[in-house]
């Protein structure tokens, strides 16, 4: 049996931890540092990558909302029924520097579905920005370069 390789935290995730710790110290200036729990992040699962992305965007001053597109289990019928959101909506919706950004999180061998491709085309066609995040390092580099271009 082959084992999954040990997770090695990328520098971008370590930087996110430093930024989050610094923000917490600013938010609670009277709390002694030795009593503050360090902020810990990973980017090796879809859920943890989404947390990294939403936290980083919030620290940068963006409005961020994480969407839950799962169905609902109906106890009476014993079946799942679809949620009320439109199919294909991204995992994260944000507004940053006056621009609407949709972020779809894909890890491993995940690919965009037909509905997600349709949403991407519609969103970009209306002037929005769409990004497919596979890891936090790529997302951070993309957002930092996007910010740099917008500030020129």
Helix ranges (H only) for the chain are: 11-27, 46-59, 114-125, 136-150
Summary mean pLDDT of the chain: 90
Q: Residue 119: give its domain's CATH number.
A: 3.40.1350.10
In a domain, 77, yes or no: yes
pLDDT at 71: 67
In a domain, 30, yes or no: yes
**pLDDT(42) > 70:** yes
In a domain, 75, yes or no: yes
Spatial separation of the C-alpha atoms in residues 118 and 138, rounded to whole Å = 23
What are the backbone angles phi and psi of residue 112, rounded to the nearest 5°? Answer: -65, 135
Confidence of residue 91 (pLDDT cuts 50, 70, 90): very high
In a domain, 5, yes or no: no
In a domain, 1, yes or no: no
Spatial separation of the C-alpha atoms in residues 94 and 102, rounded to whole Å = 6
pTM (predicted TM-score): 0.87
Which tens digit of pLDDT belongs to each residue from 112-129? 999 999 999 999 999 999
C-alpha to C-alpha distances, 130 to 38, 72, 88, nearest whole angstrom? 32, 27, 13
In a domain, 89, yes or no: yes
**Considering its fold, how many domains does the chain have in total?**
1
Question: Among 9-13, 62-66, 67-71, whose mean pLDDT is lowest?
Answer: 67-71
Spatial separation of the C-alpha atoms in residues 74 and 71, rounded to whole Å = 9
In a domain, 25, yes or no: yes
Residue numbers of the domain that contains 126? 11-150
């Amino acid at each position: 049996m082959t084992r999954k390789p040990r997770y090695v935290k990328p520098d971008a995730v370590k930087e996110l931890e430093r930024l989050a710790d610094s923000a917490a110290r600013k938010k609670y200036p009277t709390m002694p540092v030795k009593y503050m729990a360090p902020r810990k992040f990973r980017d090796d699962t879809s859920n943890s990558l989404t947390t990294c992305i939403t936290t980083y965007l919030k620290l940068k001053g963006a409005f961020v909302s994480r969407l839950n597109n799962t169905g609902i289990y109906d106890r009476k019928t014993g079946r799942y029924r679809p949620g009320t959101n439109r199919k294909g909506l991204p995992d994260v919706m944000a507004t940053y520097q006056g621009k609407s950004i949709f972020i779809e999180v894909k890890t491993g061998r995940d690919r965009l579905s037909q509905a997600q491709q349709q949403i991407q085309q519609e969103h970009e066609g209306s002037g929005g920005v769409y990004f497919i995040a596979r890891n936090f390092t790529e997302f951070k580099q993309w957002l930092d370069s996007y910010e740099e271009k917008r500030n020129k």
